[in-house]
Amino acid sequence: MFITVAEKGSFVSAARQLGVTQPTLSRKIKLLEEQLNLKLLHRGNRELSLTPQGKKIFKTSLAVTQAWDRGLESLGNNEQDVKGKLRLGLLHPMARWLSESFITDFLKRYPNIQLDLVTLTPKQLLSMPDCDLMISPIMPEDQSLVAIKIFECNFCCYASPDYLNTFGIPQTPTQLSNHLCIANINCPNAEKNWPYIDIDGTEKSVDISGRVTSDSMDIARLLAANGLGIALLPELQVTELVNEHKLVQVLSEYRFKRVDMNIIVRSRDHMTQRVKAFIDAYKAFLTEHRGVQYL
């Protein structure tokens, strides 16, 4: 109960998840504090926070609980035995893409896993809030977290056929400065230029501008498909729009942004069977359906 209260930061939310009344839960935590002779929580009007002693107890309790779960899971030898809740943190475009193509098969394969998809902002990816693992293009600031590189995500330039018919097809990256480009403003520095590798291998960049910007790759791909400009998008996530002839790749002979996609876990050596199962299934999916050679 204490772990749930600590994770939720609220007696109301924790009681709802545990299926008990708020007064009952509050009494249980008070009794625990009396038994330990420690104050575990700062009780505010609207939210709870852990005392220094509470943080130590929470960390220890969580480690013991996870070790117990791993021990139970290790007794199983098939996919039916992999069970429990798995909280996956990721950016919204990745959540949308996996929901369209991967999640259904994964849950069919592991019917006893409850998957919680938690969409995060780029800033939240730096700290891994309340998740078992994350899929992230951003390295976490927390040095205790472990990043496992899965694949390199290539970004390419895309526009709609209508846009290209109206404004022409850029033949070199430098011509992008004369086009309407859809900048991403949800990166550490709002995009004012797009770096690229020229045909001769030199690193260059081109200044961009346009009439619309977006803080979402999902929105940018739709804006591009609707003819509002050229967008720099992850090629894995535009396959359907390309196949439907709603987007066309331009400047394919040039290499634009390339981002390492990582799975972030709390420990490489002490992963639960649920986490291992997800990582293995995700790697297999990327290789089988997308031709990605994971690292």
CATH number of domain containing 36: 1.10.10.10
Domain membership of residue 13 as a residue range: 1-75
- Do both 38 and 100 map to the same domain? no
Out of 25, 50, 75, a domain closes at: 75
- Do both 58 and 98 map to the same domain? no
What pLDDT band is residue 170 in, cutting at 50, 70 and 90? very high
Each residue's pLDDT tens digit, 151-162: 888 999 999 999
Each residue's pLDDT tens digit, 62-93: 777 766 766 665 555 556 678 889 999 999 88
DSSP conformation class of 156: E
CATH number at residue 155: 3.40.190.290
Tokens matching residue 30: 């008070």
C-alpha R_g of the chain: 23
Residue 1 has pLDDT above 50, yes or no: yes
- Do both 139 and 278 map to the same domain? yes
The answer to whether 148 touches 279, Cβ cutoff 8 Å, is: yes
- Do both 70 and 147 map to the same domain? no
- Do both 62 and 102 map to the same domain? no
The 3-state DSSP class for residue 100 equals helix
For residues 20 and 118, the model is more confident at 118
- Do both 251 and 128 map to the same domain? yes
Out of 75, 92, 114, a domain closes at: 75
What pLDDT band is residue 135 in, cutting at 50, 70 and 90? very high
Out of 75, 110, 125, a domain closes at: 75
In whole angstroms, what is the distance from residue 40 CA to residue 56 CA?
Answer: 9
The answer to whether 182 touches 220, Cβ cutoff 8 Å, is: yes
Tokens matching residue 292: 């990605």
Backbone conformation region of residue 41, classed left if phi is above 0, alpha if psi is from -120 to 50, else beta: beta
- Do both 190 and 167 map to the same domain? yes
- Do both 212 and 130 map to the same domain? yes
Span 122-129, mean pLDDT?
84
Each residue's pLDDT tens digit, 200-253: 999 999 999 999 999 888 899 999 999 999 999 998 889 889 999 999 999 999
At 294 the pLDDT is 40
Residue 23 has pLDDT above 90, yes or no: no
- Do both 148 and 249 map to the same domain? yes
283, HSE (Cβ side, Cα atoms, 13 Å): 14
Tokens matching residue 96: 């949308």
What pLDDT band is residue 113 in, cutting at 50, 70 and 90? very high
Share of residues in the chain with pLDDT > 90 (%): 40
Per the structure, the count of domains in the chain is 2
